[in-house]
């Protein structure tokens, strides 16, 4: 707590009244949005005049997805309105590859421009190669495949070129993401470190039950989240363990047609607010994330804070907050059998499950949002 307070004081001393605009053009609840809001709120405590920018067309959905957002939002009609708005700020941060393009008219002005790299976004457009473990085992293979897609795929090329915009300060949260950008582009982003909303995801007293509660987020519209792969594993668990386990799933609407193909027992919670996710994780014993890769893995981090034993992909940024067999199980998520065995181990071995959960909850308490918030301000204004 003292470390957080000290950073707020330092921020007030150095960055009070600086004006910062963050291009947050999203319309649904996503991990990146939650992270940025929590870090922007920390900057606000440091005296920074921080604001978001979004579009009128997304206003209703954005406000529904983030009902307790404390940051003022400027809404505009179209991208051409953005440069004029930016003139009123000392610095502007892009948060996705397509938002970098909107800053080009500001390249030769005194406004500081930055890109908050939350993932290596060109990979979003090469779904088929990314399904195979070999893709993730060799940076050389990824570079060769990327060269092909750079020539063939417009979105891939646009995402790739976003890292080369002029006068742009690049920063990211995990060493994996930093290394991936460097491997592919030769650009080395600054590392600001991981965080989560530690005021919301607090450890509370868990209900004692003979059942083991297992939670997973299911997002079939995002292929890299491995939704059907995850559901197939959970179906096997439900069939094997019956009433010993209870499965809680969230991420898409309860009425979504995706759910109709599965007939095993699980509780479908639909889409949840951040507070509802926190409550769910406080009543869970195990959280699983079988994504192909995670640039960070926010929900797993939140689950660890709520004293869950977690299973997370070993490909990605989770190594910055988790250690295999100490605070989590890190698995090859291209291997269904390995994922199934990891989950069965946590179900069968109560001692290991509880040790991982306790270690995780203690370890992640250090990842408060003031730390990356202060580092971002330092990059922008020093």
* Tens-digit pLDDT profile for residues 244-294: 999 999 999 999 999 999 999 999 999 999 999 999 999 999 999 999 999
* C-beta neighbour count of 51 within 10 angstroms: 19
User: In this predicted structure, what is the pLDDT of residue 206?
Assistant: 74
pLDDT at 128: 86
Evaluate whether 2-195+368-381 and 212-366 have a shared fold: yes
Three-state DSSP class for 36?
helix
Q: Would you state the pLDDT for residue 124? A: 93
Would you state the CATH architecture of domain 2-195+368-381?
3-Layer(aba) Sandwich (3.40)
CATH superfamily to which 212-366 belongs: Glycogen Phosphorylase B; (3.40.50.2000)
Q: Is the dihedral of CA 291, 340, 300, 296 positive or negative?
A: negative
Tell me if 342 sits within 8 A of 324, measured CB to CB.
no
Map out the domains of the chain as residue ranges: 2-195+368-381, 212-366
Bridge partners (DSSP) of residue 191 are 172
Query: How far apart are alpha carbons 358 and 365 in whole angstroms?
Result: 11
Let me know how long the chain is. 382
- Residue 127's pLDDT is 85
* pLDDT digits 0-9 by tens, 1-49: 788 999 999 999 999 999 999 999 999 989 899 999 999 999 999 999 9
Structure tokens at 190: 């600054």
d(CA 366, CA 112): 29
Measured distance CA(298)–CA(294) in Å, rounded? 9
State residue 133's pLDDT score: 79
Chain mean position to CA 373? 16
The structure's pTM equals 0.95
Using 70 as the pLDDT threshold, list the residues of the chain that sit under it: none
End-to-end CA distance of the chain: 26
Give the containing element (helix H, strand E) for 278: helix 274-282
DSSP 263: -
Inter-residue contact 116 to 93 (CB < 8 Å): yes
Please provide residue 51's backbone torsions phi and psi, each rounded to the nearest 5 degrees. Answer: -135, 155
Q: Are 381 and 213 in contact (CB under 8 A)?
A: no
The closest of 279, 289, 287 to 202, measured between CA atoms, is 279
pLDDT score for 256 = 95
Distances (CA, A) of 296 to 32, 227, 341, 351: 10, 18, 23, 27
pLDDT of residue 44: 98
List residues bridging with 268 in a β-sheet. 249
**pLDDT value at position 151?**
95
Give the pLDDT confidence score for residue 292 in this predicted structure: 93
Q: What is the DSSP string of 282-300?
A: HT-SEEE---S-BSS-HHH
How confident is the model at residue 1, as a pLDDT? 75
């Amino acid at each position: 707590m003292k470390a957080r307070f000290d950073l707020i004081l330092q921020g007030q001393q150095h960055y009070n009244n600086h004006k910062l605009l963050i291009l947050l053009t999203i319309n649904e609840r996503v991990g990146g949005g939650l992270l940025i809001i929590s870090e922007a709120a920390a900057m606000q405590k440091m005296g920074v005049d921080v604001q978001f920018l979004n579009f009128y067309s997304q206003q209703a959905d954005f406000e529904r997805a983030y009902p307790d957002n404390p940051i003022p939002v400027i809404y505009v009609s179209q991208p051409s309105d953005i440069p004029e708005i930016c003139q009123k700020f000392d610095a502007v941060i892009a948060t996705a590859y397509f938002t970098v393009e909107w800053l080009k008219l500001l390249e030769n002005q005194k406004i500081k421009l930055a890109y908050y790299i939350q993932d290596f976004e060109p990979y979003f457009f090469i779904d088929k190669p990314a399904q195979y473990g070999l893709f993730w085992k060799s940076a050389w293979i990824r570079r060769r495949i990327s060269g092909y897609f750079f020539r063939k795929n417009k979105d891939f090329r646009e995402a790739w070129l976003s890292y080369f915009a002029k006068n742009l300060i690049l920063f990211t949260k995990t060493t994996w993401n930093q290394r991936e950008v460097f491997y592919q582009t030769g650009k080395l982003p600054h590392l600001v470190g991981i965080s989560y909303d530690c005021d919301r995801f607090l450890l509370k007293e868990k209900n004692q039950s003979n059942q083991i509660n297992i939670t997973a987020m299911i997002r079939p519209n995002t292929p890299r989240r491995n939704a059907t792969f995850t559901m197939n594993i959970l179906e096997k668990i439900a069939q094997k363990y019956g009433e010993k386990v209870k499965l809680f799933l969230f991420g898409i609407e309860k009425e979504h047609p995706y759910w109709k193909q599965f007939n095993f027992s699980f509780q479908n919670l639909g889409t949840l607010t951040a507070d509802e996710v926190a409550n769910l994780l406080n009543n869970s014993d195990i959280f699983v994330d079988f994504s192909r890769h995670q640039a960070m893995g926010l929900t797993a981090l939140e689950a660890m804070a709520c004293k869950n034993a977690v299973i997370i992909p070993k490909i990605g940024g989770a190594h910055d907050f988790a250690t295999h067999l100490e605070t989590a199980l890190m698995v090859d998520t291209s291997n269904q059998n390995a994922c199934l065995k990891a989950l069965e181990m946590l179900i069968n071995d109560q001692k290991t499950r509880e040790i991982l959960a306790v270690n995780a909850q203690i370890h992640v308490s250090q990842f408060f949002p003031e730390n990356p918030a202060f580092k971002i301000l330092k990059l922008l204004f020093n």
